[in-house]
Amino acid sequence: MNIIKNLILGSGPAGLTAAIYSSRSNLEPVLLSGNEPGGQLTVTSLVENFPGFENGILGPELMNSMREQAINVGTKIIDDTAISVDFSKKPFVVSTERNGELYAHTIIISTGASAKWLGLEGEKRLMGKGVSGCATCDGAFFKEKVVAVVGGGDSAMEDSLFVSKFASKVYLIHRRDEFRASKIMQDRVKDNPKIEIIFNSEIKDIIGEDKVVSIDIFNNKTGETKNVPLDGVFIAIGHTPNTSIFKSSIDIDDNGYIKVHDFTKTNIAGIFAAGDVSDPKYKQAISSAGMGCIASIDSLHFLEDNNLTQ
């Protein structure tokens, strides 16, 4: 049986940083890149807050560099996805979509988080026909069109600003009367003449047959609903941690995040978690990368303490 010393699940900043550190500790890590290789930064435009790039760097470029760096220092990357785990066995067992079972002495879970949706029927039906969860991917299709962005966090601010470069008008719809986004992002939105903010409002329906033609907006203060004609709706309401395959195997909190202590240790010795999958609070590329580094060092210590480094 081939036993991997350090198996890393996920290829965002946490997973790839862990891979770089583990490679340099001679742990010969194997990384499963998952179903969104590179993670959420691959659908972002300019990243201005990752240190080391004085003019910022495009998200996909940053992730590509991290992947190449991990490969260059010796990481084996398998473009496959974990579909189930058995953490009751030693070595731990991870079943993959295309490469059968993998066996590992330590595992770093860095499977990240995925975009949330409103759960409307029209949202599903019109996905890719005017409804999108990725402004940076689809914004350019809305040149001189009218669109809505939903949400009140930094993602919604960023998406509104991004699509305003193409659209003739952007409605920013938020369910409360204040944003949770950082002040600088809120200010940029408020200063943008193309963006109209609609507070205390929820989208109740997205209307259209083959493409989006309008939305029904419910004002939760006045109780009124109004129909607004438009061409596109961008959903930017946060993310859900990708933990469904771990739910019966590891301690998870009420919101689905893996519970950690001492930074990256889970309730199972030898299994570590890093990045958005275990971080409901900070969720930054740089904090994820930092946790990936810690998880790798913790893995090394676990392997050394258990005489498993050979």
Any idea what DSSP says for residue 104? E
138 is catalytic: yes
Minimal CB distance residue for ligand NAP: 153
Structure tokens given for 149: 């962005």
Least distance (Å) between residue 271 CB and ligand NAP: 25
Nearer to ligand NAP, 80 or 154 (CB): 154
How far CA 207 is from CA of 200, 233, 236, 284, in Å, comes to 21, 11, 19, 35
Looking at beta carbons only, is 125 or 239 nearer to ligand NAP? 239
Which CB atom, from 12 or from 152, has the smaller least distance to ligand NAP?
152
Rounded least distance, CB 3 to ligand NAP, Å: 36
CA atoms within 13 A on the CB side of 45: 15
Of residues 79, 80, 86, 138, which has the active-site annotation?
138
**Catalytic site residue from 79, 86, 137, 251:** 137
Identify whether the C-beta of residue 166 lies closer than 8 Å to the C-beta of residue 143. Answer: yes
CB of residue 198 vs ligand NAP: minimum separation in angstroms? 12
Contact at 8 Å (CB) between 265 and 298?
yes
Separation of alpha carbons 236 and 150, rounded Å: 6
Minimum CB distance to ligand NAP smaller for 103 or for 199: 199
- 295 vs 95, 157, 159, 268, 288, CA distance in Å? 22, 32, 32, 13, 10
> Min. distance of Cβ 219 from ligand NAP in angstroms?
14
Secondary structure of residue 163 in the 3-state scheme? helix
* Residue 16 contacts residue 70 (beta carbons within 8 Å): yes
Omega cis (within 30) before 229: no
Distance CA 307, CA 178 (A): 54
In the complex, the smallest distance separating the C-beta of residue 192 from ligand NAP, rounded to whole angstroms, is 15
- At its nearest, how many Å lie between ligand NAP and the CB of residue 26? 34
Question: Cα(113)–Cα(177) distance, rounded to whole angstroms?
Answer: 27
User: What sign does the CA torsion over 52, 55, 60, 61 have?
Assistant: negative
Q: Which residues pair with 6 in a beta bridge?
A: 106
Q: Evaluate whether 166 touches 146 at the Cβ level (below 8 Å).
A: no
Q: Which residues of this chain interact with ligand NAP, rule CB under 6 A? A: 49, 116, 118, 150-156, 158, 175-176, 180, 237-239, 283
- For ligand NAP, give the closer residue by CB, 21 or 162: 162
Catalytic annotation present for 134: yes
Given a contact cutoff of 8 angstroms between Cβ atoms, the answer to whether 156 and 237 are in contact is yes
Q: Which is nearer to ligand NAP, 38 or 153 (CB)?
A: 153
| Residues known to be catalytic | 134, 137-138
